Amino acid sequence: MAATVIDGKALAAECKARVAEEVKGLSGRPGLAVIIVGDDPASRTYVNSKRKDCAECGIYSEEYALPAETGQEGLLSVIQTLNGREDIDGILCQLPLPAGMGYDEEEVLLAIDPDKDVDGFHPVNVGRLSTGQKCFLPCTPAGVMEMLRAYGVDPEGKECVVIGRSNIVGKPMAMLLLAANGTVTVCHSRTPDLPAVCRRADILVSAVGRRGLVTADMVKEGAVVIDVAMNRDERGKLCGDVDYAAVAEKAAYITPVPGGVGPMTRAMLMVNTLEAARRHGK
């Protein structure tokens, strides 16, 4: 029996509609500032999409497109200005920063006010997440949790396997599943017998960025398979880590690429920006 496809595009539209309705009830309009350094095509596409999302949700947006040669001090100066502006509730610096230009991404993330860190990357928010305190959740893992909730998949008591240990997805994904009472295993490049570990999973999340990594023989019958990765095949077509056609024959639920986790990541940025505006008394 073929898996139920988790429609991230439809869920994201519903989520943004809720945000737009709640924005109407605020005393002031939420504001999001997006900084992009250089001219990376993928980053530019993503930033353009965020601008469109803001318009749909009634959120004021500003874009700061800085030349790659701006330098660390120039970038930090823009962030500090935005930190002090009352009309800007959220600040997002699009990563990665241009390679070979001397940028220190860690210093950049630290410079953003934690109460405007709508990406959820600042160590203060990471620390709050790890200790179960209220914080801005990283958008991709938060989007995955919303997808599970919407389709009635409760992690409590289930074996959850996360492939990938990045600070942006893998680690916070594991923490959110753990907070939902899942039993969580995090796999990575040094994990012995990865297929055997994956076959234990009731919920399998892959966030590596390696096309064809997760094959049907690695998936338990009836598992929930979440593909976070965005890769391109030999024809340039978008795809994830999962061998979609084969795995869909075994899984109970599966996310497509594109149209799965990606739209929900962007929707959760709108949710975080709304929350930031509320924190700022709007």
- Find the distance separating the first CA and the last CA of the chain, reported in whole Å: 49
Mean of the pLDDT values across residues 101-118?
Answer: 96
Mean of the pLDDT values across residues 105-114?
Answer: 97
Asked if residue 163 has pLDDT above 90, the reply is yes
Distance CA 26, CA 277 (A): 8
State how far the alpha carbon of 151 is from the alpha carbons of 33, 144, 145, 207, in Å. Answer: 32, 11, 10, 20
pLDDT digits (tens, 9 = 90+) for 38-77: 988 889 998 999 999 999 999 999 999 999 999 999 999 9
- The active-site residue out of 16, 50, 171, 250 is 50
- The active-site residue out of 119, 227, 241, 243 is 119
Phi, psi (rounded to 5 degrees) for 136 = -80, 125
Question: Which residue in this structure is represented by tokens 């109460």?
Answer: 115
The answer to whether domain 28-114 and domain 138-261 are alike in fold is yes
Alpha helices in the chain (DSSP H): 8-23, 41-57, 72-83, 105-111, 123-130, 139-150, 170-179, 194-198, 244-247, 261-279
Distance CA 259, CA 262 (A): 6
State how far the alpha carbon of 102 is from the alpha carbons of 68, 79, 99, 107, in Å. Answer: 10, 17, 7, 12
What are the extents of the domains in the chain? Answer: 28-114, 138-261
Phi, psi (rounded to 5 degrees) for 239 = -155, 170
Known active-site residue 94? yes
In the predicted model, what is the mean pLDDT of the chain? Answer: 97
Known active-site residue 52? no
pTM, two decimals, is 0.96
pLDDT digits (tens, 9 = 90+) for 225-275: 999 999 999 898 999 999 999 999 999 999 999 999 999 999 999 999 999
Just give the CATH number of 138-261: 3.40.50.720
Classify residue 221 as exposed, middle or buried by CB count within 10 Å of its CB (0-12, 13-18, 19+): exposed
| One-letter amino acid of 259 | G
pLDDT digits (tens, 9 = 90+) for 193-209: 999 999 999 999 999 99
β-sheet bridge partners, residue 183: 159
Sign of the alpha-carbon torsion through 220, 221, 226, 227: positive
Just give the CATH number of 28-114: 3.40.50.10860
Tokens representing residue 145 in the block = 């949790």
pLDDT of amino acid 169:
97
| One-letter amino acid of 184 | V
pLDDT of amino acid 1:
66
Distance CA 158, CA 174 (A): 13
Distance CA 166, CA 50 (A): 23
Known active-site residue 80? no
- The active-site residue out of 7, 53, 89, 94 is 94
Query: Peptide bond preceding 98: is omega within 30 degrees of 0, i.e. cis?
Result: no
Mean of the pLDDT values across residues 81-99?
Answer: 96
